[in-house]
Amino acid sequence: MRGVGTRARPLLGVGMVPWEVDMTNIETSESAGTPTSDERRELARKRLQAKRDLKTHAVAYVVVNTFLVIVWALSGGGFFWPVWVIAGWGIGLVMNVWEVYGRKPITEADVDDELRRSP
């Protein structure tokens, strides 16, 4: 698709963040600068991909950390060292959830408000 910015920042190596797509090269329809249906379709596809990648991230988190807890238990218990991996990776997973579901895209109204605030 020509003219569509497809580069987005990967989050912790998992998926692409759909609303951080470089919008500078996107061709818009003539009326009011709104995205064309092809552009909207591409952004929807990126949002779906981000959701799918989040599910993969969550499954990997559960599988790997379950394995680490089993290794800890089979090695005699003691200090629960898997907590460091669970907590550190958990922070990354929470950030990934925020990027996919909690963060809202930047709208034209947001840009206009920012322009009014700047000197």
* Structural domain includes residue 4: no
* Structural domain includes residue 33: yes
The structural domain count of the chain equals: 1
CA dihedral 112, 114, 115, 119 (to 10 degrees): 160
Write down the residue that tokens 């981000």 correspond to: 50
How far does CA 42 lie from the centroid of its chain?
Answer: 16
- Structural domain that includes position 40: 10-110
pLDDT at 119: 76
pTM > 0.75: yes or no: no
* Structural domain includes residue 5: no
* Structural domain includes residue 78: yes
* Structural domain includes residue 117: no
AA letter at 64: V
* Structural domain includes residue 118: no
| Residues 46 and 21: beta-carbon distance below 8 Å | yes
Q: Per this entry, what is the length of the chain? A: 119
pLDDT tens over the chain, length 119 residues: 444 444 444 444 444 444 444 444 444 444 455 778 888 899 899 999 999 999 999 999 999 999 999 999 999 989 999 999 999 999 999 999 999 999 888 888 888 899 999 87
